[in-house]
Amino acid sequence: QVHLVESGGGLVHPGGSLRLSCTASGFTFSTKVINWYRQAPGKGREWVARITTGGSSTNYAESVVRRFAISRDDAKNTVYLQMDKLKPEDTGMYYCNVRLSEDHWGQGTQFTVSS
């Protein structure tokens, strides 16, 4: 059974940094592309970042490019999202995602950017 568990949320001031983690189980982690999505209060879920197998390629939404960095540690079945220069509009619930025969999602981790 596929499990994705996000962690690392909290409260951070504008301009601050935070690192989210997503630990996976139930599939061969190293062979799968992993995505981060987010959902701001009152808005739909939007894609944030993607990392391919082996970390050979990463992609980012325009709103986070040059501020966020996605990485993975296949030995730990974990993907990270390092977020710097945080803005209030980055506030929301963050989810990791893997697409197998269907999409799988974690429960999400919430953080708030506020002074």
Assign 56 a pLDDT band (cuts: 50, 70, 90). confident
pLDDT band at 55 (very low <50, low <70, confident <90, very high): confident
Residue with tokens 């701001």: 40
The per-residue pLDDT for 54 is: 87
Distance separating alpha carbons of residues 47 and 115, to the nearest angstrom: 25
Rg value, the chain, Cα: 13
The reported pLDDT for the residue numbered 50 is 98
**Residues 34, 18: Cα–Cα separation, whole Å:** 19
